[in-house]
Amino acid sequence: MKSLTTYSILFWIYTNRAKNGYTSVFARITINSQRANISLKKKVEISKWDSSRGRLKGNTIEARQINNFLDKEQAKISKAYQELEYEEKLITAQLVKARYLGTDQKHKTLQDLVTYHNQIVEKKIHKDTLRSYKTSQKYLFLYINELLKTTDLYLKELDYQFLLGFETYLRSYQPTNGQLKIQNNTVMKHIQRLRKMIKMAVELEWINKDPFIRFSPTIEKKQREYLTENELDKIQNYHSNIPRLRLVKDLFLFSCYTGLSYIDIRNLSPDNIVKGIDGGNWIFTKRQKTGTSVKVPLLEPAENLIESSTENYRKIDFNKIFPTISNQKVNSYLKEIADVCGITKNLTFHMARHTFATTVTLSNGIPIETVSKMLGHTKLTTTQIYAKIVDKKVSEDMNILKEKFSSKSYIQRVS
Report pLDDT for 325: 85
Q: How confident is the model at residue 115 (pLDDT cuts 50, 70, 90)?
A: very high
Interval 45-61: pLDDT, tens: 999 999 999 999 999 99
Report pLDDT for 2: 46
Report pLDDT for 413: 53
**pLDDT (average), residues 155-183:** 88
Q: How confident is the model at residue 161 (pLDDT cuts 50, 70, 90)?
A: very high
The distance between the two most distant Cα atoms of the chain, rounded to a whole number of Å, is 124
Interval 202-248: pLDDT, tens: 998 888 889 999 888 887 776 678 999 999 999 999 999 998 999 99
Whether 101 shows a pLDDT value over 70: the answer reads yes
Give the start-to-end residue ranges of the domains of the chain. Answer: 7-103, 107-203, 229-401
User: What kind and span of H or E run contains 324?
Assistant: none
| Contact between residue 395 and residue 382 where contact means Cβ atoms under 8 Å apart | no
Could you tell me the sign of the dihedral formed by the alpha carbons of 230, 232, 233, 239, in that order? Answer: positive
| CATH code for the part of the protein at 107-203 | 1.10.150
Report pLDDT for 233: 95
Q: Among candidates 252, 255, 212, 209, which has minimal Cα distance to 356?
A: 255
Report pLDDT for 316: 61
User: What kind and span of H or E run contains 283?
Assistant: strand 281-286
Report pLDDT for 399: 76
What contacts 24+ positions apart, CB below 8 Å, involve 89-95?
A: 91/5, 91/7, 91/31, 92/31, 92/34, 92/36, 93/29, 93/30, 93/31, 93/34, 93/35, 93/36, 94/34, 94/36
Interval 53-86: pLDDT, tens: 999 999 999 999 999 999 999 999 999 899 888 8
d(CA 85, CA 88): 5
| Contact between residue 130 and residue 122 where contact means Cβ atoms under 8 Å apart | yes
Q: Which fold has domain 229-401?
A: hpI Integrase; Chain A (1.10.443)
154 vs 305, residue with greater confidence? 305
Whether 89 shows a pLDDT value over 80: the answer reads no
Task: List CB contacts of 85: < 8 A, sequence separation 6 or more.
Answer: 91
**pLDDT (average), residues 313-338:** 83
Interval 274-286: pLDDT, tens: 999 999 999 999 9
Q: CA distances (Å), 237 to each of 233, 253, 299, 361, in order?
A: 6, 11, 17, 20
**pLDDT (average), residues 312-341:** 83
Whether 29 shows a pLDDT value over 70: the answer reads yes
Q: CA distances (Å), 351 to each of 30, 358, 386, 395, in order?
A: 67, 10, 12, 22
- Name the pTM for this structure: 0.59
d(CA 136, CA 131): 9
Mean pLDDT of the chain: 87
Q: What is the DSSP string of 29-55?
A: EEETTEEEEEEEEEEEEGGGEETTTTE
| Contact between residue 338 and residue 347 where contact means Cβ atoms under 8 Å apart | yes
166 vs 383, residue with greater confidence? 166
158 vs 411, residue with greater confidence? 158
d(CA 113, CA 121): 12
Q: How confident is the model at residue 30 (pLDDT cuts 50, 70, 90)?
A: very high
DSSP state of 105: G
Task: List CB contacts of 217: < 8 A, sequence separation 6 or more.
Answer: 188, 191, 192
Whether 377 shows a pLDDT value over 70: the answer reads yes
